[in-house]
């Protein structure tokens, strides 16, 4: 890999995007437009055969018995909590270094999020801290499979089983990831997935999915997503409106067919990053546990010079992201939870050091090489 450049100058080149769906759209445009026309011409756009087909196929992909398509992963988490009768007065243990929707869903149910810190190398829930977080009000553990890698589910499941707790998996970033050979979404009581456009399996708008192997749970989730109804115009229980539509289901079912190709490209890009950045500066590369499969939704590095590096890359027309710059427990919107700076030291330290590099299946390898070259250049002069 070529790494020579003038360290003291900013090199102008084609901008390197952090994420871009247009190359994949161009590649599959004919099929996307065909599927769109078929759905619109069918006369059925809500909860029809295409939703049922995708629910069945995605559940099978995850190793679960049932799939329930919903409007978003936020709704999926909320409905999972409601189906488990978790609400006001209950506590749900989760992490603070996640997207706000994880916590927003807990609060929407009426329950209280309780945060535990994470492992410094994987950024995932530290199961060693769970026991001390469990109280008489704890009802559920909600691990987040972050960046494309599964959390440590065996000890999480063991604690949950012993303490009589439910487990909801936040699989938004990790469709297809495995833990000890088992895919996420099939390990806990319920799995919640996001099909937001940027995700490993994404569509052209909002959509989500719940997975479970409990027939009773699946039946209740289907009621809850549709006003509590099983038939027309009669609610068996108080429910909500959260439905994946026929178009998104059909497009996602098509994308599911080449999901592993997408992931293979992501892994190849991640390998290039790892090879090119090994031993560079004070960078810490993503840690991969031997008992799980990393799907690389994100390629996130750590460095004490994060802000300077991000600015330098931006000046060199390379887009990066910080996922997530402020932990949820320190956000103004959640001050009522009573956390303060220092409450979650690992999470807070990570928030000041993490940087996600450009990564999507269609990212040109020449762009990957350029990112590596510019990062090496930054640390050669700092």
* pLDDT tens string 102-136: 999 999 999 999 999 999 999 999 999 999 999 99
Residue 2's pLDDT band, with cuts at 50, 70 and 90, is: very low
- Has residue 1 got a pLDDT over 60? no
DSSP string, 242-256: ---BHHHHHHHHHHH
- Spell out the alpha helix ranges (H) of 207-295: 215-224, 246-256, 259-277
- Has residue 65 got a pLDDT over 70? yes
> Dihedrals φ, ψ of 97, to 5°?
-90, 70
Q: Are residues 334 and 356 in the same domain?
A: yes
How many angstroms separate the CA atoms of 280 and 140, rounded?
Answer: 41
Q: Are residues 251 and 273 in the same domain?
A: no
Q: Are residues 212 and 332 in the same domain?
A: no
Q: Crossing angle for the helix pair 365-380 and 259-277, nearest 10 degrees?
A: 20
Q: How many domains would you assign to the chain? A: 2
Q: Crossing angle for the helix pair 246-256 and 49-62, nearest 10 degrees?
A: 40
| pLDDT score of 13 | 80
Instruction: Name the percent of the chain in helix, strand, coil, to the closest 5.
Output: 40, 15, 45
* pLDDT tens string 276-321: 999 999 999 999 999 999 999 999 999 999 999 999 999 999 999 9
How many angstroms separate the CA atoms of 117 and 115, rounded?
Answer: 7
Residue 142's pLDDT band, with cuts at 50, 70 and 90, is: very high
| pLDDT score of 304 | 98
**Is 43 buried (19+), middle (13-18) or exposed (0-12) by CB count in 10 A?**
exposed
User: Which contiguous run of DSSP H or E holds residue 365?
Assistant: helix 365-380
Please tell me the number of Cα atoms within 13 Å of 277 on its side-chain side. Answer: 26
Tell me what the pLDDT averaged over the chain comes to: 96
- CATH code at position 363: 3.90.1150.10
* pLDDT tens string 18-54: 999 999 999 999 999 999 999 999 999 999 999 999 9
* pLDDT tens string 181-231: 999 999 999 999 999 999 999 999 999 999 999 999 999 999 999 999 998
Closest by alpha carbon to 285, among 353, 352, 226? 353
SS3 17: coil
Please tell me the number of Cα atoms within 13 Å of 60 on its side-chain side. Answer: 9
Asked if 207 and 252 touch (Cβ cutoff 8 Å), the reply is yes
310: how many CB neighbours lie within 10 A of its CB? Answer: 18
Q: Are residues 236 and 321 in the same domain?
A: no
Residue 303: give the domain boundaries. 259-380
Boundary of a domain, candidates 207, 240, 256 = 256
């Amino acid at each position: 890999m070529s790494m020579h450049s003038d360290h003291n100058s900013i090199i102008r080149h084609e901008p390197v995007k952090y994420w871009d769906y247009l190359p994949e759209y161009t590649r599959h445009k004919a099929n996307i437009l065909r599927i769109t026309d078929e759905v619109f011409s069918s006369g059925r756009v809500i909860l029809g055969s295409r939703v049922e087909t995708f629910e069945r196929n995605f559940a099978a992909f995850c190793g679960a018995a049932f799939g329930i398509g919903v409007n978003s992963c936020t709704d999926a988490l909320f409905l999972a909590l409601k189906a488990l009768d978790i609400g006001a007065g209950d506590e749900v243990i989760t992490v603070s270094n996640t997207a706000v929707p994880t916590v927003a869903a807990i609060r929407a149910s009426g329950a209280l999020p309780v945060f535990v810190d994470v492992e410094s190398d994987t950024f995932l829930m530290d199961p060693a801290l769970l026991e001390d977080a469990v109280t008489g009000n704890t009802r559920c553990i909600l691990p987040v499979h972050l960046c494309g890698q599964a959390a440590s589910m065996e000890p999480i499941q063991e604690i949950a089983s012993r303490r009589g707790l439910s487990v909801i998996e936040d699989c938004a970033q990790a469709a297809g990831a495995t833990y000890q050979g088992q895919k996420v979404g099939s390990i806990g009581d319920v799995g919640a997935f996001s099909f937001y456009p940027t995700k490993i399996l994404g569509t052209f708008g909002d959509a989500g999915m719940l997975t479970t192997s409990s027939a009773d749970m699946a039946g209740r989730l289907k009621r809850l997503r549709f006003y509590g109804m099983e038939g027309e115009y009669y609610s068996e229980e108080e429910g909500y409106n959260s439905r994946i539509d026929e178009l998104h289901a059909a497009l996602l079912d098509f994308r599911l067919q080449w999901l592993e190709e997408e992931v293979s490209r992501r892994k190849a890009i991640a390998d290039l990053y790892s090879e090119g950045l090994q031993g560079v500066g004070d960078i810490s590369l993503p840690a991969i546990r031997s008992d799980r499969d990393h799907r690389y939704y994100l390629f996130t590095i750590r460095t004490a010079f994060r802000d300077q590096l991000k600015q330098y890359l931006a000046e060199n027309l390379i887009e990066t992201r910080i996922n997530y710059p402020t932990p949820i427990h320190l956000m103004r919107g959640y001050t009522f939870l009573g956390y303060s700076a220092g409450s979650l030291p690992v999470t807070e330290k990570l928030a000041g050091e993490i940087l996600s590099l450009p990564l999507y299946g269609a990212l040109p390898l020449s762009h990957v090489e350029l990112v590596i070259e510019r990062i090496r250049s930054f640390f050669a002069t700092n």
